[in-house]
Structure 1
Amino acid sequence: MPKTITPNQLLGEIGETAVRLRFLNMGFQFDVRSRLEAGIDGIAEVMDNGKPLARMIAVQVKATDSRRYASEDGEGFNYLLRSEDLSYWQGSNIPIIIVLYRKSDGTFYWQEVPKDAGSEERRLHFDKNQNVLDVEAVDRLAALTVPKAGFGYYVPPLGGGEEALVNMLPVTLPTEMFVASTSHTAKKAAGILLERDEPARFDWVIKGGSFISFHDPRTSPCRHIVDLDQVEAIETSHFAFHDDEEERYNFSFLLRKALDHQVRGDLNWNKDRKIFYFKALDANRPRTFAYEASKKKTSTEVVNVSESKTDKTRVGFVRHHAFVPRFESLYDEWFLVINPTYFFTTNGFIPHSYPEALLSGKKRLDNSASLRGQIIMWHRFLTTSQREGGLFAQTSSEPRLNFGEPPSIALATRVPEDVWGSQKKVSEADDNQELLNFG
C-alpha cells in the first residue's frame, strides 16, 4: 500500500513554514524543531538590527484551514489550552507563546502562555488588534524574554533615545546607631512595650541577645527592654557594610523597621503582602496627595473610592496606592527599591476578601508613564519632611533615613509604550522619562 501524507500533516507543515517566514520577516531568527517535538514547534530568537541577542521564545504553532475560532467575533476569540500541553509547558525556563495561523485569510495571532497557568484546561483570549503577529509586536515579544526575578530588571528597548528613571532611591543613613544587650526575645520585648502606658515604638532589631536601633533606647520606651548600662553608640558603617551576609540582612530589616516608624502617620504596613499603603482618613472617603513633579505641581488620589457597578449608591471597593519596599546595598551605598502596587479594602479599613482580580485588572492598565509617575510620587512623599518639615511627627533631633532622587540613565533607544500593556491617560507626573524597574 503506497504511503500517503494526510491533509492535517500537510496543513501542519504549511503552518510551521508560514510562521517561520513571518518571524524572519519581522527580524527574528526562527529554528524549527525536529519531528520529536512534544509541544514546542520552534524557537524564535530576538535580534536587534540583525544582531542576535540570545533571548529565546518557545513557539507552538496551531494551524487551521478556514475554521472559525471559538467565540470569534470582530474583536477577538478564545483558544482552549489542553491539559497535556500545559503540563509539558510548566517546566519551561523560557517564555512560551501560541501562534495561530489560518490559511484561508492568512492571519497570524500570538499570545503568551501564562506562567501560572497550571495544568488544568483553560481558555486563552486573543485580541484581534493587540495580538497580531507582525512587526508591531516585535517589542512586546522581546519584553517576554526579560527575566522578572533576581536583583532587578528593565525592558530592553529595540528602537529613539530617552532618559530612563530607575526605581531605586539612594538612602542617606544616620552616622551612628546604638547597640545594647538585652535578655528578651523580639516577641517578648514587643509584649513589654505594648503593656506599658507609653506609645510603643518598634524601629529596632533584637538578634542573639543584642538590641540594635538608630535611636538611643535610653530616651524612648525601649529603655524598658535593654540593659541601660550596656548601651553603646557605634558608627553605622560598621553594620551597614558588614562582610557577613547575615548581618547585612539584619541591617536591611532594621532599615525597613526605621522606615515603618517614619511613615507611620500616613502609611499602613500589611505584613501578609509586605507592602506599605496609604491610610484612609475616613470610611469611603478619597484621599489626595499634592506634590511637585519635575515640571509642575500635581496631585494624585492615593486613596480612591470606586462605586459598585451594579449599585451606584454603594461602594464597590477602595483602592490604595502602595509599594513593596526592598533595601539593597550596592558597593558602599544603600538603596530603597520601590515596586509600586495597590492595596484594596472594602471601605478604606477592612481588607478586601478578593483583591487578586482587582489588582490584576489595575496592573493591566499601568504603563511606563504611570509607573514612572508613581515612583516620582513616592519619592516626593518620602522626602517631603526633608524639604518642608512636619510630614512625620518627629523632632529635629530624631535620627531618620533620608532619600535622594531616583537615578536616571540615558538610553540609546526608546522603550515602546505597548511593551507595558494597554494605553491609558496618565496625570501623575509630567516627566519625559521611562522607568527602569529593579523588582
Structure 2
Amino acid sequence: MFYSANMAKTITPNQLLGQIGETAVQLRFLTMGFQFDVRSRLEAGIDGIAEVMIEGQPSARMIAVQVKTTESSTYTSEDANGFAYLLRSEDLAYWRGANLPIILVLYRRSDESYYWKEVLGGTGPGERRLRFDKQQDVLDTNAVDRLAALTIPKTGFGYFVPPLGGGEEALVNILPVALPDEVFVTTTAYTAKQATAMLLAAEEPARFDWAIKGSAFWSFHDPRTSSCDQIVDLDQVEAIEVEHLAFHQDLDERNNFAFLLAQTLRHQIRADLGWDKEGRLFYFRARVENESRAYHYQASKKKAEADVVNVVRNKFDAARVEFVRHHAFVPRFELLYDQWFLVINPTYFFTTNGFIPHSYPSALLAGKKRLDKSASLRGQVIMWHRFLTEADRNADDLFAIASTDPRLTFGDPPTVKLPTKVPEDVWGAQKKASDDEESNQELLRFA
C-alpha cells in the first residue's frame, strides 16, 4: 500500500512555537515554586493553571494563565521601559466570566523574556489595552508575592497568603540619642524673641542651643561661659541631672526638652547644614555658587560618595542652571519608652544657585520623590547617620578640632527582619532616570 506525501500530517511553525512557549512558561512557574498544570487541547483562552505553593504544600489557590509567544517580534510601542499589548475582544469576553484571577504571560523566545499582567486591569475602549513595565512586570521570583495576592478574594474577609519571596533586613529611620549627663537651668527676664535679638546685637558669637519657656532657661552648655550670660540670671544657674527633664511626666515639659534637643542639634551641625524654617528641615549647604558638593562616607560594607549638592543644568544649554538640589532631612525627636530617638525623614531642598531658595520647590520635590525607591531611602538614612556621627568617629584623630561643648551623640539605626522583601512597585511607578529628568524636562513633568 502506498501513501501520498500530501496525506502526511504537518505541524505548523506557529503551533510548534505556541507549544514551546507553554512549556517554557510551565518551567518558569515550576522554578518559581508554583504548581503548573497545562490544560487540554480543548482550551479556549486559558492555557494552564498555576497553583500557589506554601513551603512546598499545595494551597488550592489558583491562577488561570494565558500564554502568548513570539519568536523575536517587538511589542507595540516597545521601548526600554515597557510596551503595550492589545487583548482580543473575544478573549476578554470569555475571561470576564471566570471565577479565578487570570493573567496574561508574554514569552519572547529570542531574548528569553517573560512578562505578566492581570488581564482585567486594562485601559482604553473595553479595557483591552494592557501596559507592561519591563521592571515591575517580569515573571520571576520577585513576582511571587504579587501573584499570590491575586488569589485573595476581593469581597468578604479574605485570607492570609504568607510571604513567598524571601525576606530582607529593613532599616528603621530612627537614631538612638545619647544625652549629655547634665543640663543647666536658670531663670531669665526675657522672652525667646527678646533674647535672640540681644544675642544677635552683641559682639560675641551668638549661640542658640537653648530653650526658654516662661521664665525658665534650659541649655546643655553652661550659659556663664558664652554670650548667653547676657540673657540669664547668673546667680540662679544650676546643673541638674538630665533625667529630671528628659523623662518628665508632664507632656509639655517633654515637648520643651525635645525643642532643646532640636536646638542643640542645629548648633552642632551649623557649619555644614542649613536650616529651612518653612520646610522645617536641615539641608547640606553649598560651598560655592552653582557648584556641586560631594560627601564621602563609609556605607554598610564599602566607601560611598553622595552628591549632596547637585547642580542640574539645562540639557541643551550647559551654561544654564535650572536648579540646585540639596540632600535634606526633616528631624523629629521622640521619646519611646525610656529612650530618646532622632527620627530622620530624608527629603530634598531646592535652590536656584545653591543659596537662593527656589520659587517652586514642591513641584520639584514631588517629581524627585517619585524616583526614589526603597534602596535609595535606605542609603540616605545610612548617609545621614554617618554624617551625624562623623565627629565622634574622628574623636581620636590628632587633627580633629577639639571642643568642650556637650554634644548629642547617636547610635546605629535599628534593623528589623521582614518576612518578605518590600516590592519596589509600592514606592510608585518606575521611571527611567535619564538626563531629561535631571534637566528642564523635570520642571515640566513635576508641575
TM-score clears 0.5? yes
> Paired residue for 1:328, among 322, 327, 334?
334
* Aligned residue identity for 1:420: W
Following the alignment from structure 2 to structure 1, what is the Cα–Cα distance between the partners of residues 148 and 401?
Answer: 49
Q: Of the candidates 300, 309, 320, which is equivalent to residue 314 of structure 1?
A: 320
* Gap runs ≥5 in structure 1: 1-47, 51-71, 78-97, 109-126, 143-155, 426-439
The aligned length equals 306
How far off its partner does 1:409 sit? 1.1
Amino acid at match of 1:160: G
Residues 393, 248 of structure 1: alpha-carbon distance in 2 compared, 3 angstrom cutoff: farther
SS at match of 2:312: strand
CA contact (8 A) 1:367 1:424 kept: no
Cα distance between partner residues in 1 of 2:259 and 2:279: 16
Instruction: Decide whether the 8 Å contact of 2:145 with 2:165 is kept in 1.
Output: no
Is 1:248 equivalent to 2:249 in the alignment? no
SS at match of 1:344: strand
RMSD over equivalenced CA pairs, Å: 3.4
Give the alignment of 1:131-280 within 5 angstroms.
Answer: 159-280=165-286
CA spacing shift, 1:164–1:188, aligned 2, 3 Å: same
Q: Secondary structure at the match of 1:295?
A: coil
Which of 1 and 2 has higher RCO (CA within 8 Å, sep 6+)? 1
User: Counterpart amino acid of 1:326?
Assistant: R
* C-alpha distance 105-242 of structure 1, shift in aligned 2 (>3 A): closer
Determine which of 254, 271, 283 is the counterpart of 2:289: 283
Q: Does 1:417 align with 2:424?
A: yes
Structure 1 residue 129 displacement after superposition: 3.0
Residue in structure 1 matching 2:310, options 296, 304, 311:
304
Query: 1:311: how far off?
Result: 2.5
Change (3 A) 1:128 1:213: same
Q: Which amino acid aligns with 1:182?
A: T
Aligned 8 A contact 2:331 2:342 in 1: yes
- After TM superposition, the structure 1 = structure 2 runs for residues 379-418 of structure 1, keeping only pairs within 5 Å, are 379-389=385-395, 395-418=402-425
Task: Find the residue that maps to 2:275 and give its secondary structure.
Answer: strand
User: What is the letter of the counterpart of residue 273 of structure 2?
Assistant: L
- How many angstroms apart in 2 are the aligned matches of 1:104 and 1:204? 65
TM-score (norm 1): 0.63
Distance 1:170 1:398 in 2: 20
Q: Which amino acid aligns with 2:257?
A: F
Provide the rounded CA distance (Å) in 2 between the counterparts of 1:392 and 1:241: 37
Give, in angstroms, the shift of residue 76 of structure 1. 7.4
Once residues 368 and 157 of structure 1 are traced to their aligned partners in structure 2, the CA distance between those partners, rounded to angstroms, is 18
C-alpha change, 1:270 and 1:243, in structure 2 (3 Å) is same
Q: Secondary structure of 1:206's partner?
A: strand
Instruction: Name the CA distance, whole Å, in 2 between partners of 1:158 and 1:225.
Output: 62
Deviation above 6 Å: which 4+ runs of structure 1? 130-135, 390-394
2:136–2:425 Cα contact (<8 Å) kept: no
Query: How many Å apart are 1:418 and its aligned residue?
Result: 2.2
- CA displacement, residues 128-179 of structure 1 (integer Å, 9 cap, x when unaligned): 538999996975999xxxxxxxxxxxxx977401211100000000010000
The change in CA–CA distance for 1:392 and 1:107 in structure 2 (over 3 A counts) is farther
Q: Tell me by how many angstroms 1:49 deviates.
A: 9.2
Instruction: From the superposition, tell whether residues 375 and 246 of structure 1 become closer, same or farther in structure 2 (CA, over 3 Å).
Output: same
Give secondary structure in 2 for the equivalent of 1:294: coil
Identity fraction in percent: 59
Distance of aligned partners of 1:173 and 1:358 in 2 relative to their CA distance in 1, 3 Å threshold: same
Hey, what's the Cα distance between the residues in 1 that align with 2:367 and 2:398?
32
The one-letter amino acid of 1:226's match is V
- Change in Cα spacing, 1:140 to 1:378, as seen in structure 2 (3 Å) is farther
1:385-410 deviation per Cα after TM superposition (whole angstroms, max 9, x unaligned): 00014899974321000000000111
**Aligned pairs for 1:417-436 within 5 A:** 417-421=424-428, 422=430
Paired AA for residue 404 in structure 1: G
Give the C-alpha shift of residue 357 in structure 1. 1.9
Contact 1:417–1:423 under 8 Å retained in 2: no
One-letter identity of the residue aligned with 1:205: A
Q: Report if aligned partners of 1:162, 1:413 keep a CA contact under 8 Å in 2.
A: yes
| Structure 1 residues 49 and 194: alpha-carbon distance in aligned structure 2, compared to 1, 3 A threshold | farther
Q: Is the 8 A contact 1:139 1:419 kept in 2?
A: no
CA distance in 1, matches of 2:378, 2:303: 16
Match of 1:129 among 133, 148, 160: 133
Give the aligned partner of residue 39 of structure 1: none
**Separation in 1 of the partners of 2:340 and 2:188?**
28
Structure 1 residues 391 and 322, CA gap change in structure 2 (3 angstroms): farther
Per-residue CA deviation, residues 55-83 of structure 1 (Å, 9 max, x unaligned), is xxxxxxxxxxxxxxxxx977579xxxxxx
**1:304 counterpart letter in structure 2:** N
Aligned to 2:16: none
Structure ID, larger Rg:
2
TM-superposed deviation, 1:313: 1.7
**Corresponding residue for 1:361?**
367
Distance in 2, matches of 1:255 and 1:317, equals 32
Structure 2 Cα separation of the partners of residues 140 and 168 of structure 1: 33
